[in-house]
């Protein structure tokens, strides 16, 4: 049976490999039928108990998945196969899972569990195959230190996916990842390099500190893949740290000269050109690139051009010198190469060569075969010309004629692009309007050529622009009548609706200006004629199927009928009509609205009126009718017959123009643009006398403008030369040469027209901000994490603490509380002081060439003395008092002639070793004598040891580095090492010192005890209730509880006591019940549920460590029993 099913699937595979089957595959009935048969078979097989049969079926499903069949219905069976005991089957299951499972798959929990199980398998390939599966397991961290390199490298690689998914895991895992860079196995090393390079590519600045390590790898590694990755990484790092560039010269040169691998060589060159500091070397690389481009190997040619485009950003000059070569590449048969060359052209243009380059491109447009490439050329021409606010265009007549020439392209998708350019230029470049209007009128006149096939032809979009320009700037129109007639042709009704709508609207504008013209000339008949023409032709638009066209046309028809009535009465109407369209329409920067600060006290989200009950809000206008934003301006302009209404409308229109300016399609960064060109309006604009009649449409005319422009430039040059000659007659000879050399340079070519950037384009009080340029959804942004900052408590991964505590870098430190108690009879005071303060500490770490600031990390400092009643009065030198451990910790002094009373200790986590603590003790001399030669010694326990200088024995004390005059206090620090924190600790100690007073010196001793209570290892950590709930659900915690009777204090007070003495924080409080949280310095979570009954309190605790918990609860019981 098995054999048979295999046969079936193989048959099927054959069927699909037949070319004949291939041909008909789109509609092929038999095949679809065949596959559904196959799927039925597979379903049968999946029902079998035999795992081998199942696995085989799943294997077939995987194949079907490749062919595009959804196999998620078999998800459960796939998991069954994944859980097979045999590697052969397991692997099949995993393959299927990796091909078709995703986050939305409903069996994903089962999958995760299965992966977990397999990850802990003793068989290396089982584990390996599980790793290949999915990236959901957090346990991978552990596997990164697996004994087998095979597993290590897979674990390292998969970490990247984990980081992407859980960015918060990056910081805890990073030290380990870094370690792997120096793994003995080259495979693991390469995996780590891969991962870090991928991470660093997104946020290079966070990885600068790794530069020395990579530098070492680069000089030592022989693996080309690793080298390429590292070199690419350096390419990303050097712009951030220029000094790196110099360091890199030597190894890179070595590599360039020694490597035989082209890939490595290319990457070296690529990186060199990104470090712009390396001048001499840089030229060499550019030369190398030229050789690459000239190479016959197409791949190298492509890459050469690619690298050139990188240089272009930094050194446009050095690319421009290779213009010949790049233009030559435009003729290459390979489209990839042509596109690359096109990209380069974008950056190579200057005022001088723009016309020449565009001319070349236009020739290519004519020659191009495929529409895709031709469209690409078209967009490039427009990009090149319009870049940085038409910076390189010196003659806009030329540009307009180029645009007009482009309208001859049939079947292009980019009609709207051309249209947008026409509109933009006509609006921004005031001086060009007359010319633009004449050209547009010509376009309208020849609309039948452009719009021959409107359905598929995107180019008819230009008519949109043409109609609008002719209407809006109708005052420049010479043959207005003719244009109006062109717009009223019946053929127009075949155009797309949105274009017709613009036609109708602009007809009225045109009509209004003709009317005015005629009235002023006193030609009443002509005026009436034109009105009649309108009334005759408009009905064809009134009948339009397009609602927008229909509505506009009928409004306008009514208006014109009304005008006709007035005309018959011989009332002059032109002024009134033209006033309908008075006012300038100014461009507005695309982001202008966003930049207007919201006035104080204005809440944009608040309702002005009560929200309407149903959903009929104004937002739901049929937007689809308005094809483009540009149309919005005309929406409110429906004229009315009523005179009053007209006046009102007029007013409203003015108002609207003031408030709601016309929106122009975006062009590159308008904000910048207007900042760069201040006061352009004051620059006189050169007018060109148009001697050439522009009659023939669709003829290449741009050449004429090239000639004109050349003449103009020549004139300009001559003028300038004259000027300069005049100015500097004395040094004429020298300067003459200078001039002739440089007149052709950029600066000397003054543009014929200036782009008007009207200041209204941006609101006056615009806030300069570019924040909106960033994509908030960038998944890699989450990985922008400062990796050198030490880990905070909250960042540790909960899973880690079981497994790899030893490698966790942690600033946490032990927090034992030390108290010294004064036994001085005079001072029977009660002290209660507990202070916590954070102290910032800056560490600067210099790593070879890179400097990196270590983030401040918290140190905890606590001061504490305790409230204890001293019941006994004792004389000096009394016997030791039994230790009373009330709360966090005590350091009990023997009564003394000296009363050292205040105790301060400072917990300072040691970065290298988190089991070290520093205890600072403040000694205060309360006697009247002078104290010197103090020495502190502590009797070490197994768990807690005082750190002594090397070479000294456990019996040696540590000298206190100061002396104490009477009444003075000072602080000394002692380092302790600890292992476990689950138990409270008491250390006996002695302070020996010499008391010096008038009578002489005596040697004194003071015994004390250091009490490290469990609560003192806790650090008050805030915790959110959902995180708290998750923690409790996780089920890793041990549980224990206590009950204390006879509590009289208020619940509030009680909670405060627990917070204060035991370092907890309240997570949530409901009536007389509260949940509290704290964590130990070694990362144990401690959760409490405190409930107050009548006169009693019960506390349920949960903690990772049962010993710690029970000790903590005991301590708590003691505190509470005192209440």
Partner 1 sequence: MIKAILIFNNHGKPRLSKFYQRYSEDTQQQIIRETFHLVSKRDENVCNFLEGGLLIGGSDNKLIYRHYATLYFVFCVDSSESELGILDLIQVFVETLDKCFENVCELDLIFHVDKVHNILAEMVMGGMVLETNMNEIVTQIDAQNKLEKSEAGLAGAPARAVSAVKNMNLPEIPRNINIGDISIKVPNLPTFK
Residues 169-208 that bind partner 1 (CB under 8 A): 187, 190-191, 194-195, 197-198, 201
Please work out the total of residues on this chain that contact partner 1, with binding judged by CB under 8 A.
84
Name 892's Cβ contacts closer than 8 Å, sequence gap at least 6: 819, 820, 821, 880, 881, 883, 884, 1008, 1009
Name 303's Cβ contacts closer than 8 Å, sequence gap at least 6: 266, 292
**Hey, how many other C-beta atoms are within 10 angstroms of the C-beta on 163?**
24
Out of 43, 116, 148, 232, which residue is the one contacting partner 1 (CB under 8 A)? 232
- Three-state secondary-structure class, residue 924: strand
If the CB atoms of residues 157 and 467 are measured against partner 1, the closer one turns out to be 157
Out of 34, 166, 225, 1028, which residue is the one contacting partner 1 (CB under 8 A)? 225
How far apart are CB 206 and partner 1 at their closest, in Å? 16
**Interface with partner 1, residue 695, by CB under 8 A:** no
β-pairing, 985-997 with 1000-1012?
Answer: antiparallel
How far apart are CB 214 and partner 1 at their closest, in Å? 15
**Interface with partner 1, residue 240, by CB under 8 A:** no
**Interface with partner 1, residue 313, by CB under 8 A:** no
Out of 146, 152, 153, 414, which residue is the one contacting partner 1 (CB under 8 A)? 153
Q: Does residue 636 contact residue 564 with C-beta atoms inside 8 Å?
A: no
Binding mask 255-274 for partner 1 (x = CB under 8 A): -----xxxx--xx-------
Residues 41-80 that bind partner 1 (CB under 8 A): 52, 55-56, 59, 62-63, 65-70
**Interface with partner 1, residue 2, by CB under 8 A:** yes
How far apart are CB 356 and partner 1 at their closest, in Å? 27
How far apart are CB 603 and partner 1 at their closest, in Å? 39
If the CB atoms of residues 376 and 630 are measured against partner 1, the closer one turns out to be 376
Distance CA 246, CA 237 (A): 13
How far apart are CB 16 and partner 1 at their closest, in Å? 6
DSSP state string for 273-308: HH-TT-HHHHHHHHHHHHHHHHSS-HHHHHHHHHHH
If the CB atoms of residues 303 and 592 are measured against partner 1, the closer one turns out to be 303
Residues 727-756 that bind partner 1 (CB under 8 A): none
**Angle formed at CA 776 by CA 773 and CA 780, multiple of 5 degrees:** 110
Residues 100-129 that bind partner 1 (CB under 8 A): 100, 102-103, 123, 125, 129
If the CB atoms of residues 224 and 320 are measured against partner 1, the closer one turns out to be 224
Closest residue by Cα to residue 1022 from 1073, 1077, 967, 1091: 1077
> At CB < 8 A and 24+ separation, what contacts does 939-943 make?
939/987, 939/988, 939/989, 940/987, 941/985, 941/987, 942/979, 943/978, 943/979, 943/980, 943/983, 943/985
**Interface with partner 1, residue 145, by CB under 8 A:** no
How far apart are CB 6 and partner 1 at their closest, in Å? 4
**Interface with partner 1, residue 299, by CB under 8 A:** yes
**Hey, how many other C-beta atoms are within 10 angstroms of the C-beta on 424?**
20
Q: In what order do the strands lie in the sheet with 969-978?
A: 916-924, 969-978, 944-946
Residues 12-31 that bind partner 1 (CB under 8 A): 13-14, 16-20, 22, 25
Which range, of 84-92, 697-705, 764-772, 853-861, touches partner 1 by CB under 8 A? 84-92
How far apart are CB 18 and partner 1 at their closest, in Å? 6
If the CB atoms of residues 78 and 228 are measured against partner 1, the closer one turns out to be 228
Q: Does residue 64 contact residue 100 with C-beta atoms inside 8 Å?
A: no
Distance CA 831, CA 844 (A): 39
Which range, of 156-164, 659-667, 807-815, 876-884, touches partner 1 by CB under 8 A? 156-164
The token pair at 533 is 């023409």
Distance CA 887, CA 738 (A): 90
If the CB atoms of residues 186 and 957 are measured against partner 1, the closer one turns out to be 186
Distance CA 886, CA 883 (A): 9
Which range, of 219-227, 881-889, 930-938, 1110-1118, touches partner 1 by CB under 8 A? 219-227
If the CB atoms of residues 145 and 194 are measured against partner 1, the closer one turns out to be 194
**Interface with partner 1, residue 88, by CB under 8 A:** yes
Question: 854 has which bridge partners?
Answer: 843
How far apart are CB 334 and partner 1 at their closest, in Å? 4
**Interface with partner 1, residue 952, by CB under 8 A:** no
How far apart are CB 225 and partner 1 at their closest, in Å? 5
How far apart are CB 125 and partner 1 at their closest, in Å? 5
How far apart are CB 154 and partner 1 at their closest, in Å? 6
Distance CA 817, CA 904 (A): 9
If the CB atoms of residues 15 and 686 are measured against partner 1, the closer one turns out to be 15
Out of 223, 540, 677, 759, which residue is the one contacting partner 1 (CB under 8 A)? 223
Closest residue by Cα to residue 145 from 800, 812, 1083: 800
How far apart are CB 220 and partner 1 at their closest, in Å? 17
If the CB atoms of residues 89 and 281 are measured against partner 1, the closer one turns out to be 89
The token pair at 947 is 């750190």
If the CB atoms of residues 304 and 587 are measured against partner 1, the closer one turns out to be 304
How far apart are CB 264 and partner 1 at their closest, in Å? 8
Residues 486-525 that bind partner 1 (CB under 8 A): none
Dihedral sign of CA atoms 644, 650, 654, 656 in order: positive
**Interface with partner 1, residue 302, by CB under 8 A:** yes
If the CB atoms of residues 297 and 676 are measured against partner 1, the closer one turns out to be 297
Distance CA 510, CA 486 (A): 12
Residues 338-357 that bind partner 1 (CB under 8 A): 339
If the CB atoms of residues 150 and 346 are measured against partner 1, the closer one turns out to be 150
Distance CA 934, CA 994 (A): 7
If the CB atoms of residues 2 and 839 are measured against partner 1, the closer one turns out to be 2
Distance CA 411, CA 628 (A): 21
Region label for 388, one of left (φ > 0), alpha (ψ between -120 and 50) or beta (otherwise): left
How far apart are CB 299 and partner 1 at their closest, in Å? 5
The token pair at 962 is 């100061």
Distance CA 60, CA 225 (A): 35
The H or E element containing residue 37 is helix 29-47
Distance CA 106, CA 695 (A): 70
Distance CA 709, CA 925 (A): 95
How far apart are CB 172 and partner 1 at their closest, in Å? 20
Q: Does residue 717 contact residue 736 with C-beta atoms inside 8 Å?
A: no
Which range, of 5-13, 608-616, 699-707, 717-725, touches partner 1 by CB under 8 A? 5-13
If the CB atoms of residues 11 and 928 are measured against partner 1, the closer one turns out to be 11
**Interface with partner 1, residue 288, by CB under 8 A:** no
Total residue length of the chain = 1123
**Hey, how many other C-beta atoms are within 10 angstroms of the C-beta on 1087?**
24
Q: Which value, in Å, is the radius of gyration of the alpha carbons in the chain?
A: 42
**Interface with partner 1, residue 698, by CB under 8 A:** no
Q: Does residue 512 contact residue 476 with C-beta atoms inside 8 Å?
A: no
How far apart are CB 229 and partner 1 at their closest, in Å? 8
How far apart are CB 2 and partner 1 at their closest, in Å? 6
If the CB atoms of residues 91 and 414 are measured against partner 1, the closer one turns out to be 91
**Interface with partner 1, residue 371, by CB under 8 A:** no
């Amino acid at each position: 049976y098995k054999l048979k099913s295999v046969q079936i699937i193989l048959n099927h595979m054959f069927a699909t490999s037949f070319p004949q089957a291939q041909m008909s595959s789109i509609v092929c009935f038999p095949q679809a039928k065949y596959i559904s048969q196959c799927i039925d078979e597979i379903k049968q097989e999946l029902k079998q108990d035999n795992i081998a049969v199942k696995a085989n079926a799943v294997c077939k499903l995987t194949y079907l998945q490749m062919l595009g069949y959804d196999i998620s219905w078999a998800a459960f069976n796939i998991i069954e196969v994944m859980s097979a005991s045999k590697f052969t089957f397991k692997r099949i299951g995993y393959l299927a899972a990796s091909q078709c499972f995703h986050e939305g798959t409903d069996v994903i929990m089962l999958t995760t569990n299965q992966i977990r199980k397999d990850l802990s398998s003793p068989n290396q390939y089982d584990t390996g195959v599980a790793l290949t599966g999915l990236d959901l397991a957090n346990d991978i961290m552990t596997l990164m230190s697996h004994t087998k390199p095979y597993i290590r490298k897979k674990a390292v690689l998969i970490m990247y996916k984990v980081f992407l998914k859980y960015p918060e895991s990056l910081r805890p895992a990073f030290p380990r990842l870094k370690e792997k860079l120096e793994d003995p196995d080259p495979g693991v090393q390469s995996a780590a390099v891969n991962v870090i390079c991928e991470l660093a590519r997104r946020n290079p600045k966070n990885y600068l500190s790794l530069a020395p390590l990579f530098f070492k790898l680069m000089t030592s590694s022989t693996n080309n893949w690793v080298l390429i990755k590292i070199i690419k990484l350096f390419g990303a790092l050097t712009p951030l740290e220029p000094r790196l560039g110099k360091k890199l010269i030597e190894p890179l040169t070595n590599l360039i000269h020694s490597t035989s691998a082209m890939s490595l060589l290319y990457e070296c060159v690529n990186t060199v050109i990104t470090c712009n500091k390396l001048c001499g070397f840089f030229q060499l690389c550019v030369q190398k690139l030229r050789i690459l481009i000239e190479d016959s190997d197409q791949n190298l040619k492509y890459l050469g051009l690619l690298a050139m485009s990188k240089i272009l950003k930094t050194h446009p000059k050095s690319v421009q010198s290779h213009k010949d070569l790049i233009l030559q590449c435009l003729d290459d048969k390979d489209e990839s190469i042509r596109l690359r060359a096109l990209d380069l052209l974008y950056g190579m243009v200057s005022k001088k060569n723009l016309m020449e380059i565009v001319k070349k491109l236009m020739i290519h447009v004519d020659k191009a075969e495929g529409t895709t490439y031709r469209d690409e050329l078209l967009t490039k021409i427009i990009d090149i010309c319009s870049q940085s606010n038409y910076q390189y265009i010196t003659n806009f007549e030329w540009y307009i004629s180029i645009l007009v020439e482009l309208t001859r392209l049939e079947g292009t998708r980019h009609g709207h692009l051309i249209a947008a350019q026409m509109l933009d230029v006509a609006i921004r470049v005031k001086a060009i309007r007359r010319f633009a209007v004449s050209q547009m009128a010509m376009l309208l006149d020849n609309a039948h050529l452009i719009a021959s096939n409107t359905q598929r032809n995107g180019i008819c979009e230009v008519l949109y622009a043409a109609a609008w320009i002719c209407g809006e700037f109708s005052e420049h129109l010479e043959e207005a009548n003719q244009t109006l007639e062109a717009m009223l042709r019946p053929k127009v009704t075949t155009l797309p609706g949105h274009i017709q709508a613009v036609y109708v609207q602009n007809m009225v504008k045109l009509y209004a200006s003709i009317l005015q013209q005629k009235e002023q000339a006193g030609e009443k008949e002509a005026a009436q004629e034109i009105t009649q023409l309108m009334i005759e032709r408009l009905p064809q638009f009134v009948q339009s199927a397009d609602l927008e066209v229909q509505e506009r046309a009928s409004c306008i028809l009514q208006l014109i009928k009304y005008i006709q009535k007035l005309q018959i009465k011989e009332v002059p109407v032109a002024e009134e009509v033209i006033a309908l369209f008075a006012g300038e329409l100014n461009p507005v920067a695309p982001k202008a609205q966003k930049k207007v600060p919201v006035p104080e006290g204005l809440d944009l989200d608040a309702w002005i009126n009560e929200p309407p009950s149903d959903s009929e809000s104004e937002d739901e206008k049929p937007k689809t009718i308005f094809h483009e934003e540009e149309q919005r301006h005309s929406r409110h302009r429906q004229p009315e017959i009523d005179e009053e209404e007209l006046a009102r409308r007029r007013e409203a229109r003015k108002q609207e123009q003031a408030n709601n300016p016309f929106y122009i399609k975006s062009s590159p960064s308008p904000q910048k643009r207007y900042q760069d060109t201040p006061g352009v309006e004051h620059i006189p604009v050169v007018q060109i006398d148009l001697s050439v009649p522009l009659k023939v449409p669709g003829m290449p005319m741009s050449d004429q403008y090239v000639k004109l422009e050349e003449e103009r430039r020549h004139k300009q040059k001559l003028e300038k030369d004259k000027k300069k000659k005049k100015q500097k007659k004395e040094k004429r000879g020298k300067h003459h040469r200078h001039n002739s050399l440089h007149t052709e340079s950029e600066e000397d070519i003054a543009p014929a027209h200036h782009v008007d950037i009207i200041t209204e384009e941006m609101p006056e009080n615009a806030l300069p901000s570019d924040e909106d340029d960033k994509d908030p959804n960038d998944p890699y942004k989450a990985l922008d994490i400062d990796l050198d900052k030490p880990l905070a408590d909250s960042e540790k991964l909960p899973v880690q603490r079981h497994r790899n505590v030893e490698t966790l870098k942690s600033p946490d430190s032990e927090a034992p509380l030390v108290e010294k108690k004064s036994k001085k009879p005079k001072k029977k005071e009660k002290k209660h002081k507990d202070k916590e303060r954070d102290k910032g500490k800056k560490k600067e770490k210099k790593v070879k060439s890179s400097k990196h600031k270590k983030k401040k990390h918290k140190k905890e400092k606590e001061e504490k003395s305790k409230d204890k009643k001293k019941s006994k009065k004792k004389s000096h030198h009394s016997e030791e008092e039994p230790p009373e451990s009330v709360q966090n910790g005590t350091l009990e002094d023997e009564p003394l002639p000296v009363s050292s009373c205040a105790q301060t200790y400072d917990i300072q986590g040691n970065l290298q070793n988190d089991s070290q603590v520093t205890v600072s003790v403040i000694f205060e001399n309360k006697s009247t004598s002078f104290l010197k030669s103090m020495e502190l010694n502590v009797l070490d326990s197994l768990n807690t040891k005082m750190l002594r200088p090397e070479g000294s024995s456990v019996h040696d004390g540590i000298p206190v580095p100061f002396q104490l005059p009477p009444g003075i206090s000072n602080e000394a620090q002692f380092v302790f090492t600890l292992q476990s924190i689950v138990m409270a600790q008491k250390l006996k100690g002695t302070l020996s010192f010499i008391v010096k007073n008038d009578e002489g010196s005596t040697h004194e001793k003071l015994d004390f005890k250091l009490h490290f209570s469990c609560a003192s290892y806790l650090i008050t950590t805030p915790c959110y209730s959902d995180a708290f709930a998750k923690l409790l659900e996780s089920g890793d915690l041990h549980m224990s509880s206590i009950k204390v009777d006879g509590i009289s204090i208020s619940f509030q007070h009680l909670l405060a006591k627990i917070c204060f003495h035991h370092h907890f924080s309240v997570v949530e409080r409901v009536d007389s019940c509260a949940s509290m949280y704290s964590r130990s310095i070694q990362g144990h979570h401690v959760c409490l549920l405190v409930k107050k009954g009548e006169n009693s309190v019960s506390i349920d605790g949960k903690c990772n460590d049962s010993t710690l918990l029970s000790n903590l609860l005991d301590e708590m019981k003691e505190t509470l029993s005192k209440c």
